[in-house]
């Protein structure tokens, strides 16, 4: 057999290693599709391995020849597994660790499988919605550029005249320079907080504008067409205001977001149950920690090849099971 054929054969078997092997000592029952000394592949096994493949890939194995190819791969896998067991690999520490990780993952998936959320009550969903309303209901927001001519009761008339004059100048300049208001704000606004950034007030809701600058400012911000410059009297003085951007509001009802809330509460519920389960196991085992020895351990910052994930907790243990392994490639034709 050529090296290429050997490589292909190994690829087929390694692909099958992603399937669920029969545990050592397990007694197989049912009709056999293939058997020999210490090796049996049953109808049930064959069907289970086929069912692990995607519907698209399963269509490859509709005729007898293709079924034989798949069965041949299963036989090869069982032969190599039996040979490995005779060599004692089932006692290898790496194999034992892999087995323990698989058992933990199976345990967690079985006990804390993701549900459909139907056990989450409507009252809990409504409470979550009310407590997180800002996630589902967002007011419309407007971005403005403003230039403040500060005024007091004593100089209001003079400052009003100054603001009107400045408004006329800026409007005339905007025809040639769209950034004229921003330039004027950097040069002469009395609002120290926005002077450096050219009077940019950012995106705010109508309520936010009203609280910060007064109802008149808020009304102007939401009632002025984008790009137009208006003069607004506020408690701080006179503002030249230009709308530079708008964001539509979002309003979603509890019925519209019910599935998302159910899923989130379901995840939180499973996580809480999992943590409580581990806590009980820890208490039953009376776990103690030797901090003195723990302190002595030196941890390398460099990654260790082939390692990853929490020990004793396989990656994705609280997630959905991994996708089924890809179907094995057809075995090479015998020459």
- For residues 150 and 311, is the Cβ–Cβ distance under 8 A? no
Which residues are CB-neighbours of 173 under 8 A, at least 6 positions away? 180, 184
Backbone angles phi, psi at 51, to 5 degrees: -65, -20
Name 114's bridge partners: none
The ranges of the chain annotated as CATH 3.10.50.40 are 140-248
**How many C-beta atoms lie closer than 10 Å to residue 290's C-beta?**
8
Q: CA–CA separation, 160 vs 166, rounded Å? A: 10
- Residue environment code for 104-135, b if the CB has 16+ CB neighbours within 10 A, otherwise e: bbeebbeebeeeebeebeeeebeebbeeeeee
**How many C-beta atoms lie closer than 10 Å to residue 71's C-beta?**
19
Residue closest to 241 by CA, chosen among 251, 227, 254: 227
What pLDDT tens digit does each residue of the chain (335 aa) get? 444 433 434 444 444 444 444 554 456 778 888 988 888 999 999 999 989 888 888 888 888 999 899 999 999 998 998 899 999 999 999 999 999 999 999 999 888 877 666 778 899 999 999 999 888 888 999 999 999 999 999 999 999 999 999 999 999 999 899 999 999 999 999 999 999 999 999 999 999 999 999 999 999 999 999 999 999 999 999 999 999 999 998 888 999 999 889 989 988 988 999 999 999 998 999 989 899 988 998 887 776 555 555 444 433 444 433 322 333 333 333 33
What integer pLDDT is reported at residue 25 of this predicted model? 47
What integer pLDDT is reported at residue 318 of this predicted model? 40
Give 19-51 as a DSSP string: S-PPPTTPPP-S-EEEEETTEEEEHHHHHHHHH
How far is CA 25 from each of CA 28, 42, 107, 177, 268, rounded to the nearest angstrom? 9, 15, 21, 85, 39
Q: CA–CA separation, 333 vs 335, rounded Å? A: 6
* Domain 140-248 bears CATH identifier 3.10.50.40: yes
| 200 SS3 class | strand
Q: CA–CA separation, 13 vs 79, rounded Å? A: 10
pTM of the model: 0.52
How far is CA 47 from each of CA 17, 31, 44, 229, rounded to the nearest angstrom? 16, 12, 5, 74
Contacts of 153-156 with C-beta under 8 Å, sequence gap 24+, read none
Instruction: Please report, for the chain, how many H helices and E strands are present, in that order.
Output: 14, 8
Pinpoint the alpha helices (H) of 52-202: 55-58, 64-86, 93-111, 122-131, 133-136, 156-174, 180-188, 192-195
What integer pLDDT is reported at residue 27 of this predicted model? 67
What integer pLDDT is reported at residue 229 of this predicted model? 95
- For residues 312 and 102, is the Cβ–Cβ distance under 8 A? no
What integer pLDDT is reported at residue 320 of this predicted model? 37
**What is the rounded radius of gyration, in angstroms, for the C-alpha atoms of the chain?**
35
Q: How far apart are the first and last CA of the chain?
A: 8
Q: CA–CA separation, 69 vs 269, rounded Å? A: 45
């Amino acid at each position: 057999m050529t090296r290429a054929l050997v490589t292909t054969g190994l690829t087929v078997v390694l692909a099958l290693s992603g399937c669920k092997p029969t545990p050592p000592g397990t007694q197989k029952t049912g009709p056999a599709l293939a058997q020999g000394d210490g090796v049996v592949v049953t109808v049930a096994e064959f069907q289970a391995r086929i069912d692990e493949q995607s519907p698209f890939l399963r269509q490859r194995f509709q005729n007898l020849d293709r079924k034989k190819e798949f069965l041949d791969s299963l036989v090869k896998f069982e032969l190599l597994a039996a040979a490995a067991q005779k060599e004692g690999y089932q006692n290898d520490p790496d194999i034992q660790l892999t087995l323990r990780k698989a058992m933990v993952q199976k345990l967690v998936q079985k006990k804390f499988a993701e549900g459909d959320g139907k056990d989450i009550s409507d009252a809990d969903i409504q409470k979550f919605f009310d407590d997180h309303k800002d996630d589902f209901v967002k007011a419309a927001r407007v971005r403005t550029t403003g230039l403040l001519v500060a005024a007091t009761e004593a100089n209001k008339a003079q400052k009003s005249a100054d603001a009107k004059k400045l408004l006329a100048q800026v409007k005339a300049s905007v025809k040639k320079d769209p950034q004229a208001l921003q330039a004027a704000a950097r040069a002469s606004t009395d609002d120290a907080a926005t002077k450096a950034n050219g009077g940019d007030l950012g995106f705010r809701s109508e309520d936010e504008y009203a609280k910060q600058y007064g109802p008149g400012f808020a009304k102007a911000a939401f009632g002025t067409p984008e790009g137009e410059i208006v003069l607004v009297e506020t408690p701080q003085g006179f503002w030249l205001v230009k709308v530079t951007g708008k964001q539509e509001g979002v309003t979603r009802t509890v019925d519209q977001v019910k599935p998302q809330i159910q899923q989130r509460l379901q995840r939180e519920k499973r996580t809480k149950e999992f943590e409580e389960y581990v806590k009980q196991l820890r208490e039953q085992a009376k776990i103690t920690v030797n901090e003195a020895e723990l302190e002595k351990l030196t941890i390398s910052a460099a990654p260790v090849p082939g390692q990853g994930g929490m020990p004793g907790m396989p990656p994705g243990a609280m997630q959905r099971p991994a996708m089924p392994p890809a179907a094995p490639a057809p075995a090479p034709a015998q020459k």
